[in-house]
Amino acid sequence: MRTKSILLLAIAAITAFSACKKEEIIEVLAAIYDSAQFVRNDCADLSTLSSPSGGVLPTNIHFKNETGESIRINWVNFTGGLTVYKDNLQTGSGHTQQTFLQHPWYIETTGSECITIITALRAGVTDTVTFVKQEQ
């Protein structure tokens, strides 16, 4: 009987230790890009951003979605509001968008969770931002 009790206590201790050692894996959506090609703003900066009117050079951004879920691409317009340019970019798809330097783009999930805000730095080219799911 005593051996059985010790064995049960040992199993309970191992189970409790295992439960404490488990790490929670959190997956987040992230933007992968060359920092020489884009400026990134935190999502919290949205209220401070807007696109300038006039005097800016044209360029292109290619948005590539490899997240496993759909994303929405919004232009931060002249008044700081959001204008949807691609409502439902499916995973495995890309979208090339004509834009201008100093014009921010607000990228979110289709469930309205902000991923990032980016602004192109190079005129007259097409630079790519790839969205992926990463463990954190």
Mean pLDDT by 10 residues, the chain (136 residues): 50 51 74 94 97 93 96 98 97 97 96 96 96 87
CATH homologous superfamily of 26-135: von Hippel-Lindau disease tumour suppressor,  beta domain (2.60.40.780)
Query: Residue 54's pLDDT is what?
Result: 86
Kindly report the length of the chain.
136
> Which pair of structure tokens corresponds to residue 58?
């044209």
**pLDDT at res. 8:** 47
What number of other Cβ atoms are within 10 A of residue 39's Cβ? 13
Query: What was the pLDDT predicted at 16?
Result: 52
CA 75 to chain centre: 15
Between the alpha carbon of residue 123 and those of residues 18, 49, 95, 102, 103, the distances in Å are: 54, 20, 18, 10, 12
Question: In terms of pTM, does the model score above 0.85?
Answer: no
Per-residue pLDDT, 7: 45
How far CA 68 is from CA of 29, 33, 91, 132, in Å, comes to 10, 18, 5, 8
